[in-house]
Structure 1
C-alpha cells in the first residue's frame, strides 16, 4: 500500500525565461514536487547562459515543466507569411532565421493593418491576458520563443498538442501573470529597474506569496516553503524567482488534469497557455 506521502507527480519545474541571460538577468528555474494538494518548493536554480540551461534540461531524466515563453505563433501570421503549418517544420523555419530577418517580416505583415490591430493574436492570448507571441519588444516574447524552443527540442521534450518527444519530459507553456492576476489582481509586484522596486511592490510580493501558501487560487494547490525560501521570493525585487514558482504551480495543476488541462481542439500551430 503506497504511503499517503508518495509523490503523485513527476519532478516539477517552473522556468522564468530570458532570451539573453546574464548575471543581471539569469534564467530562473524553480524545482518542486507535488504531494496531494501541496506543492513543495525544493530549490531555485539560476543559469547565466542558454547552454547551461540546455544541459540542465537534458541532464534531468524526467520532468514536467511550465515554461514562461510562447510555444506557437498566431495562425493568421503563419498563413499570411506562407510559413509551414506543421509545428516541427514551422519551428525549424522560424528558428533558422535571424532576428532582423524575422522583425522585417513581422513589420511587413503589420504595415497595412489598422492602428490597434497591428499584431496577430493566438486564441489563448485573450483568456490568458498574454502578449502576442509575435511581439519582439516590451516584452520580447518572439525572441524568447526563438531562443527557448530549441532548448526544449534539444531535450527531446513532449509538447502536448504540438510535438511528441520523450514521454518522461513534458513541457507546457505557462504564464505567471495569469496566476498572479488571479491572486493580487493587477497590482505590480516586480521591476527590473532598481528605481521602480518600491515598497508597494514589496508588499504585493508578500501578499502574492501568502496567497500561494494559503491556496487561494482556482488551481486548488497550496505552496509549501521554508522560511528562507519565503524570504528569497519576497526579496527578489525583479520577481524572476516568484515568476518561476508561479510557473511551477501551473505545471503542478496541469499534471493532474486530463490532457494536462488543455482544451480539446488546441490549434497545433498556436498551442495553448496552461490553465488559461
Structure 2
C-alpha cells in the first residue's frame, strides 16, 4: 500500500490529518483509492499501527533537527537518542529553547537549517510558528516509531515493511505551477484564482508532467473533490502520495535506498525527491 499524509500537530474535526491511500497502476501511474481523515493524533496513530503490515508512506513533517542546533544545545547526536530526548520535552520547553537560540543570532540567520532545506525549499524544522513544524516533528515521529515503522537512513523499526519517508508537497507543487497559491485555511482568501491553480495542478499531475515520471489516476468524482477542497489538505496528501510512490520505485537504490542521497546526514534526515 502507498499513502501520503498531510499532517497537523493539533488536528480537529474541521482541520484533520488527511491520508491519501493509493496503489500502483502500471509502471508509471498511481491510482488514488481513498482518503482518510483523523481528528486526533491518537486516532491517526492507531490507524498507522493497525493498518496493513506493508506500506510506503510520505509524511509532511520533518524527521530530524538541524545538526548545528543539536550540537549547540548539546543534545544527543545519535538520531534515536535525540528523538527520545525531544519527545520528552513539552511544547513550551521546545518553544522557549528554540526562541532563545534564535534570539542570540543575527538578523537574517536566526534559524539553523538542515541540508535538505535549500534543495527542497522547506521551512527549517526548528520553526515553532508559521508553520509549527517543530511541533509536527514532536507529535509525528514518536507515533511512527510506535507503529514500528522503518525510516530509511535514520532508524530500523520492528516492521521493516512499513517504510516512512519525509515528504513535502510544496516541492512538487512548485515544480508544476510555480509560486501560485492553490490553498488557504482562511475562508476570505479561498478565491477563484486558487481554485484555478488547483485545477491546473491536478491537470499536470494527471498528465504526468513532473520529473517524478508518474501519472495520477483519478475518477471524475475524486478530481472534483480535490479541486473543491479550498484548504488544500487533500491535494497535499496526494502530492505526498506521489512522492512516496516515486521513492518505492527506488527502494533498492544505493545508500539508504528509496531515492535518498548517500550523503544524507543520519541525524537530520532528507525530504524524499529533493
In the other structure, the counterpart of 1:4 is none
Deviations 1:115-171 (A, max 9, x none): 010000000000000000000000000001010011101101000011001111000
1:125, 1:33 → 2: CA distance?
29
1:108, 1:54 → 2: CA distance?
32
Alignment partner of 1:150 is 2:148: no
Deviation at 1:83, TM superposition (A): 0.3
Deviation at 1:244, TM superposition (A): 0.1
* Count of residues paired in the alignment: 266
Alignment partner of 1:186 is 2:186: no
Deviation at 1:265, TM superposition (A): 2.1
Deviation at 1:105, TM superposition (A): 1.0
1:26, 1:163 → 2: CA distance?
27
In the other structure, the counterpart of 1:97 is 89
Q: Which runs of 4+ in 1 moved over 4 A?
A: none
Structure 1 length-normalised TM = 0.96
- Within-5 A mapping of 1:48-59: 48-59=39-50
In the other structure, the counterpart of 1:205 is 198
Alignment partner of 1:82 is 2:74: yes
SS at match of 2:161: strand
SS at match of 2:160: strand
Deviations 1:221-268 (A, max 9, x none): 000000110011001000000000000000000001111000112111
For the aligned residue pairs, the C-alpha RMSD in angstroms reads 0.6
Alignment partner of 1:237 is 2:235: no
Deviation at 1:215, TM superposition (A): 0.2
For structure 1, which segment, 50-59 or 235-244, has the greater mean C-alpha deviation from structure 2 after superposition? 50-59
- Within-5 A mapping of 1:104-119: 104-119=96-111
Deviation at 1:85, TM superposition (A): 0.5
Structure 2 length-normalised TM = 0.96
2:83, 2:2 → 1: CA distance?
25
SS at match of 2:34: strand
The one of 165, 189, 202 equivalent to 1:196 is: 189
In the other structure, the counterpart of 2:123 is 131
Alignment partner of 1:15 is 2:8: no
Alignment partner of 1:33 is 2:23: yes
Alignment partner of 1:269 is 2:245: no
SS at match of 2:244: helix
2:221, 2:136 → 1: CA distance?
30
2:232, 2:145 → 1: CA distance?
27
SS at match of 1:205: helix
Structure 2 unmatched runs, 5+: none
Deviations 1:5-34 (A, max 9, x none): xxxxxx101000000110111000000011
Alignment partner of 1:64 is 2:62: no
